[in-house]
Amino acid sequence: MDFIEIVFDRPLPTDVDRDDVEDDLNEALEGLGEVTGAGTGLGSSNLDVDPGANRSEMLDLVFRVLADLGVGDAARVRPGDGEVWIRPSEWRPT
């Protein structure tokens, strides 16, 4: 897997849905990367982001968009291959 995965496994704020996050991410990432996939399952939904060339810059933007939308720890992010997941409250910008 070469993409950044975002999973929403807790309720989102009532005025935000996955499509809002996708739209804001695509706007913030314009020219750098893009949302390349989305899905919904039992009790969760997800977005896949193509990180382009600079993964650390992309992660900073992803977490900034999540913060701006007030998503909080309803999201968890897997920055790439592996089992590491990061909640927005755990993110330390590079």
Whole-number mean pLDDT of the chain?
Answer: 91
Domains of the chain with bracketed CATH? 4-90 (3.30.70)
Pick the residue with more confidence: 81 or 37? 37
DSSP one-letter string for the chain: --SEEEEE-SPPPTT--HHHHHHHHHHHTTTT-EEEEEEEETTEEEEEEE--S-HHHHHHHHHHHHHHTT-GGGEEEE-SSSS--B-GGG----
Which pLDDT band holds residue 13 (cuts at 50, 70, 90)?
very high
**Structure confidence at residue 23 (pLDDT):** 96
Q: How far apart are CA 51 and CA 35, in angstroms?
A: 9
pTM recorded for the entire structure: 0.92
**Structure confidence at residue 1 (pLDDT):** 54
Structure token digits, residue 32? 């750098």
